[in-house]
Amino acid sequence: MTKKRLALLLGGTVAAIALIFGVFVTLPAPTVTKTPAAKKPMVKVATDLDQIFDPSKVSQTFIDLPAKSQATLNNIAETAYVPATFRMIYNGHETQAINVGIKLKGTTTRSTLSNTWYRPSFKIKFDWAKGYKTQTLFGLKELTLNGFNQDSSRLHETYAYESYRAMGIPAPRTGFTTITFEGKSTPNTPNRGLYLVLESEDDVFFGANFKDVTQHVYENNHDVTDFDAAKIGGNTKVSTYFKVKQGWNATPNKDDLKAFVKAINTSGETFWNNLDKVADRNELIMLFAVDNFTGNWDTYSGPMRNNFTFRSNVEGKFTFVPWGTDQSFGENLMNDSSARQRFADFQIKYIAHDDFFMKVDSPYTSYPGSYIFAHSAGVTDYDTAINYPVARGKIFAKCLAVAECSTLYFQDLQKVNEWSKQVGMADQMAKTNNLIASLLNQYQKTEGTRTSKWVTKQQLKIDDAINKHCKLNGATIVSCSAIS
């Protein structure tokens, strides 16, 4: 059958893009508590983005790189976009070949084009240079292509972002694609295998997911980061701990962040009341619940206090948006081949420490890299080091310490947990694992099986935590105790 060639959409106002539920069968969130039901997804819009961001299929991506671009992408220090030609084939349809900008993506996972054992991730930019400022791909200005360097299962980001979206938290959409470098100038290994197609958190994303006007979008610029007054930095776009991703030209100050930090550096009922003034409080607590359900230890509410994006509106109220969810669903640091090299002395212990569970009911938790903190504290015993407790994000810890916030958190945790049972998340993961099996090695397929089984174990652990800390009327949480 002849493939249909689709025209590129150029310029114009970007319409609101529907949130798409990918592999899952979309079911209403269960009404097991008295808390408000999860937000319903927007009406699905007929757009080819539905097929690009469809993890029930695998698309094909083809990239042609001039020799100069290849040389740049083999320099790990380069951050500039370089020319490339890009096209995709999905569901029997093909985009036209278009000129784009491409650059390497990542920090600890950053790799060069010539590296085939630790594959590079990429950013593709469609409005990348003079003469292309109105160019988009079906309304998108850019795409992220992740190489799964910290997720052997290839499942974590798809199912983590799906969980956030199902609970009303704006989160990127995902799809699967294979990458092939083509043309006269190609790398030594043109076929690079399976990648994640990930929606970038740019102004298009925020415009599609928020009705109010964005003032700033921030992200942490350092791991183990928290909202301390000393870490805000002056009125500069980039500081040691935080950087402004959007909004700096219109509002070149951090007054909103300063007010936020002042408000949350309180405690008890004062903290709880202040949080409502400077943040979408209900949405933030739900985000913490999904963080914990997915075991996302590399986010703000986790022990690494890392990988968090947060947005203020013109009134200075903040909303957090998930990003970098590959370290979830029991992911062990030692599944990362780079980590196995960097921490070879701990390799045997940590391969055995594979099915990791972060505590869902404590302001402290270990994580698969706890030994790093243990070593700094002078702890040398291996068994103690791998379970060494690390402080989590202070907003999450302060929430647990207030009974009203703790109650809302456990109600939300129960809600996402029950939803995961209703949609059959473990079974859906197994189906996705089968879908991509031909593109995986045996270890990766086994890791996908472990990930799906982890979900069933996590569901039971969350039920136990709720029964331990909360009073229930039937299945409904009435109240939960403060935890400090």
Percentage of the residues of the chain whose pLDDT score is greater than 70: 85
> Angle CA(277)–CA(280)–CA(286) in degrees, nearest 5?
135
Give the range among 4-8, 260-264, 359-363 with minimum mean pLDDT: 4-8
d(CA 33, CA 30): 8
C-alpha span between 102 and 105 (Å, rounded): 9
Distance separating alpha carbons of residues 324 and 322, to the nearest angstrom: 7
Extract the tokens encoding 243: 């950087």
pTM of the model: 0.87
Q: Which of 32-36, 246-250, 331-335, 448-452 has the lowest mean pLDDT?
A: 32-36
Question: Mind listing the pLDDT tens digit for each residue in 161-194?
Answer: 999 999 999 999 999 999 999 987 778 889 999 9
- Check: CB of residue 122 under 8 Å from CB of residue 292: no
In one-letter notation, the amino acid at residue 480 is: C
Q: Are 90 and 51 spatial neighbours (Cβ–Cβ below 8 Å)? A: yes
Q: Please say if the pLDDT value at position 29 is more than 50.
A: no
pLDDT at residue 25 is higher than 60:
no
pLDDT of residue 333: 61
Which token pair is 195?
């990648």
Task: Give mean pLDDT, residues 138-158.
Answer: 93
Q: Give me the long-range contacts of 93-98 (CB less than 8 A, separation at least 24).
A: 93/3, 93/4, 93/5, 93/6, 93/48, 93/51, 94/3, 94/4, 94/5, 94/6, 95/5, 95/6, 95/8, 95/137, 96/5, 96/6, 96/7, 96/8, 97/62, 97/64, 98/8, 98/126, 98/135, 98/137
Q: Which of 103-112, 212-221, 342-351 has the lowest mean pLDDT?
A: 342-351
pLDDT at 354 (0 to 100): 65
Per-residue pLDDT, 236: 96
The CA-atom distances, in angstroms, between 87 and each of 12, 56, 325, 440 are 21, 20, 27, 23
Q: Over 70: is that where the pLDDT of 5 sits? A: no
